[in-house]
Structure 1
Amino acid sequence: MAKYTGPVCRLCRREGAKLYLKGDRCYSDKCSFTGRSFAPGQHGAGQTRKKVSEYGIQLREKQKTRRIYGVLERQFRNYFEKAERQKGITGVNLLVMLERRLDNVVYRIGLAESRNQARQLVRHGLINVNGRRVDIPSFLVKADSVVAVREESKESPIMKKIAESLGHKQAPAWIELTAADMSGKVTRYPTREEIDIPIQEHLIVELYSR
Structure 2
Amino acid sequence: MGRLGRSRQAIGLGSLLLLAGILLIGRAGALLPIDRPVLAPSQDGDDTQPIRPPATVIDEQRREPARKVAQDLIAPPRLDPAEIERVEPRPPLSELGLAVPPKTPMPKDWREVLLYRPIATSSAMFESMGRKVIISGAQGIDLDRSCSFHDVNWPCGQRARAAFNAWLRGRGLKCFVPPDVERFAIASPCRLGKQDVGAWLVSNGWATALPSGIYGKAEATARNAQMGIFGSAQ
Provide TM-score, normalisation by structure 2: 0.20
Higher helix share: 1
With a CA cutoff of 8 Å and minimum separation of 6, indicate the structure with the bigger relative contact order: 1
- Structure of greater Rg: 2
TM-score in terms of structure 1 length: 0.22
